[in-house]
């Protein structure tokens, strides 16, 4: 189980039946964090001011004694140019004194055929005169709205704007050449240059915004300040080859298919995607299997790789050229319109930090150093808002906010440590977004190419096209107007396209894109979980037990108050009555009953029988936690970790550690994740995996699934597909939907388990019944095929 439903699933920590009250005739389970009751509060609408201000005639003159932050940017990558553009807006306001951008010598970068999809939350931070300059480069809207900030509705978000990276960089170059306070230097930043600048004057910030010479300079200047990425072989763990996506740019003379048709075809499968930058241009992207990625890796480093791919006689490359031709037929693109080819890959390695405060005195060097762009991570196999180039823009925007915050400009040192810490969290979040747990999409496609039947795969894709069209029509406000107005009929979508069996197999195996259907599936799961925590209502036995408990509770028994309250909350022998349940649990908590205090915190946190009151919930969790209640310690830690209260990762980790010492498996799992990612604690991947394995051994399905994915990919552990399958089975047998799906793929592949279509179909059907779109796409034939006996 993943996403919102997964979080709900984590919140069922069953306690032993409360003993010691002989008169109670029913088993009452004290609910610490009941499954299905994690009802998120409606986000408060907070009006946020744009941090990157645009100077006006009424703007105050810059302060003489505080000329603003002096920034050096090493690397002329997209993220470096974007950061310089945002900082230039602060020059006239006295927030920025100078920006020096060392662009390096001109180098051809094949990744410049990439498309940046600028989200509304990023676009809003751009000064208007820069917005006009970037719009003139040519923007195109095709993606649905992707709100990420709490307190903002879909209607308040702009649609993401697609801009080709090469045109975006050219527009930024032109705008920055005319911007005050910005120096564009056609040279690489180096250790020698750094020492000279430090001797000449003090600059507050240095940003390494690219790989290559920029990253080399960073390592020479600061030695191990940032450290290298987590090594591919360390303490028995290693990382396997990254996932890859092939990109081929195109430009046609006639307009493409209607945008609604293109997006319906895009959204029904994840093998092929057309990312548009105009009505007649864009990038055709193909998600690759591991074998395909390796076959292309050497080719893209040669001159004119597209021509060599077209003319290659090697079997693997010939099949890839056939895939490109199939993709052209799918989207009705003439083959002659293709121009440049590149591979986009995601390096899953983490850095311990992306923001550091060098150990230097004020006036002897920068106060803060940032890693952005290629210096921070090595690209992305995914594309669209929040990924790849789009993620780099989000990272640069976050860095600009940290440097231009009101607190920073009011300080002599020009540094807001809270804002810098916030930027570090953004960077780790961006990198974690690229590194979602689960079987790789490339592996799933490889499985389909080996095992799926062509005609069945074609039928599956055609059926999914119809389902996709219904989903697009169900939420019209989420899509650009042109998509809404050009959605095709089912007949148009399913009209005969002469595609190879391999093409149909790959599309069927890839599954559909995540969309509103996932939200519907999660909602259904949440409702089922809530129903499962209802014991059915009034019975004669329960009525008598409640009557006896109420008599003792009225006489001052805190234990009976708790039991009676839980009976009403869970409808265990009585009619469900949240208000009564809250009343009795609150009375027990006020008398000092530790378990009642934890349960009261749960009700206040989730709005059960009362309005949501996060701060009050935290107060009761803290009371219970102070006397060693592990559940309460974990609950408070989770609230601090997940920013339900003002976020404090370090305090959250400390509470996870306390609860983990009491062998609470949820706390062990969360502590393991914190150690793996370096959030609130120093990064320690091996130790993090130890805690996650402890939680898995205690039966936490989420931890078991996580162990399976790490062992399958070799992420933090030595790759072992047999052990991976064993962990997937443990979680799958507990109902974890992603483990069921993953185990199905492994049986389909015959990796780690005997190859078995019947086993694969059994687990696909189990996951499909829980709403997994990927599993639904792989189910074949009628009936549920039971797994053969072990």
Question: What helix, strand, coil percent values describe the chain, rounded to 5?
Answer: 50, 10, 40
Tell me whether residue 323 is in a domain. Answer: yes
Return the structure tokens found at 109: 């970068």
Beta bridge partners of 102: 74, 185
Residues of the domain holding 159: 69-236+351-433
Return the structure tokens found at 32: 């610490």
Model pLDDT, residue 496: 72
Tell me whether residue 46 is in a domain. Answer: no
* Distance in angstroms (rounded) separating the CA atoms of residues 641 and 659: 14
Cβ distance 720 to 727 under 8 Å? no
Model pLDDT, residue 713: 80
pTM, 2 dp: 0.82
Ranges of residues in the chain whose predicted pLDDT is under 50 = 1-66, 150-151, 231-238, 361-363, 516-517, 782-790
- DSSP letters for 319-344: HHHHHHHHHHHHHT--GGGEEEEEEE
Spell out the alpha helix ranges (H) of 298-435. Answer: 305-311, 315-331, 373-376, 389-404, 406-410, 417-433
**Domain C-terminal end among 433, 460, 486:** 433
Residues 682 and 702 in one domain: yes
Residues 664 and 771 in one domain: yes
Model pLDDT, residue 154: 54
| pLDDT, tens digit, 9 for 90 and up, residues 688-712 | 999 999 999 999 999 999 999 989 8
Residues 612 and 719 in one domain: yes
- The domain that holds 81 is classified in CATH as 3.50.50.60
Residues 424 and 443 in one domain: no
Tell me whether residue 53 is in a domain. Answer: no
Cβ distance 111 to 344 under 8 Å? yes
Residue 485: DSSP 8-state = H
Residues 450 and 373 in one domain: no
Tell me whether residue 371 is in a domain. Answer: yes
Residues 584 and 695 in one domain: yes
Number of domains in the chain: 3
Tell me whether residue 56 is in a domain. Answer: no
Mutual orientation of helices 259-267 and 454-474 as an angle, nearest 10°?
120
Model pLDDT, residue 11: 29
**Domain C-terminal end among 433, 467, 500:** 433
* Distance in angstroms (rounded) separating the CA atoms of residues 603 and 583: 11
* Distance in angstroms (rounded) separating the CA atoms of residues 535 and 571: 5
Tell me whether residue 401 is in a domain. Answer: yes
Residues 267 and 331 in one domain: yes
Model pLDDT, residue 410: 55
**Domain C-terminal end among 415, 433, 451:** 433
Model pLDDT, residue 691: 97
Tell me whether residue 748 is in a domain. Answer: yes
Residues 471 and 531 in one domain: no
Residues 604 and 626 in one domain: yes
Residues 625 and 764 in one domain: yes
List all residues 6 or more positions away from 645 whose beta carbon is below 8 Å from its beta carbon. 614, 615, 618, 639
Length of the chain equals 790
Cβ distance 427 to 376 under 8 Å? yes
Tell me whether residue 48 is in a domain. Answer: no
Model pLDDT, residue 413: 57
Residues 620 and 654 in one domain: yes
- The domain that holds 13 is classified in CATH as 1.25.40.10
Residues 94 and 219 in one domain: yes
């Amino acid at each position: 189980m993943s996403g919102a439903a997964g979080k709900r699933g984590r919140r069922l920590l069953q306690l032993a039946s409360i003993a010691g009250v002989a008169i109670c005739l029913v088993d009452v389970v004290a609910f610490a964090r009941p499954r299905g009751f994690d009802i998120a509060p409606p986000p408060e609408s907070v009006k946020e001011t744009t941090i990157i201000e645009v100077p006006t005639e009424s703007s105050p003159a810059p302060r003489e004694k505080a000329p603003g932050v002096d920034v050096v940017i090493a690397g002329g990558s997209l993220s470096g140019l974007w950061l310089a553009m945002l900082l230039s807006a602060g020059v006239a306001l006295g927030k920025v004194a100078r920006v020096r951008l060392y662009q390096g010598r001109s180098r051809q970068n094949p990744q410049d055929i990439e498309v940046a999809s600028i989200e509304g939350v990023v676009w809003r931070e751009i000064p208007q005169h820069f917005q006009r300059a970037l719009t003139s480069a040519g923007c195109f809207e095709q993606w649905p709205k992707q709100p990420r900030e709490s307190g903002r509705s879909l209607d308040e978000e702009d649609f993401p704007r697609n801009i080709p990276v090469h045109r975006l960089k050219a527009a930024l170059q032109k705008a920055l050449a005319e911007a005050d306070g910005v120096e564009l230097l056609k040279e690489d930043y180096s250790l020698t240059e750094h020492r000279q600048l430090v001797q000449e004057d003090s600059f507050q910030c240095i940003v390494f915004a690219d790989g290559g010479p920029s990253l080399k300079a960073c390592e020479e200047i600061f030695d191990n300040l940032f450290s290298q990425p987590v090594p591919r072989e360390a303490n028995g763990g290693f990382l396997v080859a990254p996932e890859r996506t092939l990109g081929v740019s195109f430009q046609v003379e006639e307009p493409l298919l209607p945008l609604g048709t293109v997006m319906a075809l895009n959204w029904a499968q994840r093998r092929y995607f057309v990312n548009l930058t105009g009505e007649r241009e864009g990038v055709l992207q193909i998600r690759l299997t591991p074998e395909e990625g390796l076959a292309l890796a050497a080719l893209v480093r040669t001159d004119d790789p597209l021509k060599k791919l077209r003319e290659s006689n090697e079997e693997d490359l010939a099949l890839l050229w056939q895939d490109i031709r199939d993709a052209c037929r799918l989207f009705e693109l003439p083959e002659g319109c293709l121009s440049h080819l590149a591979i986009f890959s995601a390096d899953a390695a983490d850095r311990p930090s992306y923001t550091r405060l060098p150990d230097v005195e004020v006036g002897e060097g920068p106060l803060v150093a940032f890693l952005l762009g290629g210096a921070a991570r090595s690209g992305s196999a995914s594309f669209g808002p929040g990924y790849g180039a789009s993620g780099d823009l989000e990272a640069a925007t976050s860095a600009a906010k940290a440097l231009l915050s009101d607190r920073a400009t009011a300080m002599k040192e020009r540094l807001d440590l809270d804002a810098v810490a916030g930027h570090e969290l953004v960077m780790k979040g961006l990198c974690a977004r690229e590194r979602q747990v689960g079987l790789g999409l490339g592996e799933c496609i490889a499985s389909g190419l080996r095992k799926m039947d062509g005609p069945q795969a074609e039928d599956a894709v055609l059926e999914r096209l119809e389902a996709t069209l219904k989903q697009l029509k169900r939420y019209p406000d989420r899509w650009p107007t042109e998509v809404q107005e050009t959605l095709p009929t089912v007949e148009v979508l399913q009209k005969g396209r002469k595609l190879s069996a391999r093409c149909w197999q790959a599309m069927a195996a890839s599954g559909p894109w995540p969309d509103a259907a996932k939200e519907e599936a999660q909602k259904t799961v949440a409702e089922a979980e809530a129903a499962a925590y209802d014991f059915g209502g009034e019975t004669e036995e329960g009525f008598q037990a409640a009557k006896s408990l109420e008599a003792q509770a009225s006489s001052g028994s805190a234990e009976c108050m708790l039991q009676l309250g839980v009976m009403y909350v869970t409808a265990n022998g009585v009619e469900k009555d949240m208000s009564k349940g809250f009343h009795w649990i609150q009375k027990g908590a006020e008398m000092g009953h530790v378990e009642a205090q934890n349960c009261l915190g749960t009700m206040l946190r989730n709005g059960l029988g009362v309005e949501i009151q996060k701060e009050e919930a935290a107060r009761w969790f803290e009371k219970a936690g102070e006397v060693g209640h592990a559940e309460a310690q974990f609950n408070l830690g989770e609230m601090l970790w997940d920013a339900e209260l003002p976020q404090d990762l370090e305090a959250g980790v400390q509470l996870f550690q306390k609860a983990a010492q009491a062998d609470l498996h949820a706390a062990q799992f969360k502590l393991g994740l914190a150690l793996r990612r370096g959030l609130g604690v120093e990064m320690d991947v091996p130790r993090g995996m130890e805690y996650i394995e402890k939680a898995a051994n205690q039966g936490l399905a989420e931890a078991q699934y996580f162990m399976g994915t790490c062992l399958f990919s070799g992420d933090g552990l030595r790759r072992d597909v047999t052990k991976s399958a064993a962990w997937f089975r443990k979680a799958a047998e507990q109902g974890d939907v992603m483990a069921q799906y993953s185990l199905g793929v492994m049986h389909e592949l015959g990796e780690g388990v005997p190859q078995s279509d019947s086993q694969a179909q059994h687990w696909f059907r189990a996951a499909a019944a829980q709403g997994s779109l990927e599993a639904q796409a792989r189910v074949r034939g009628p009936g549920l095929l039971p797994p053969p006996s072990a």
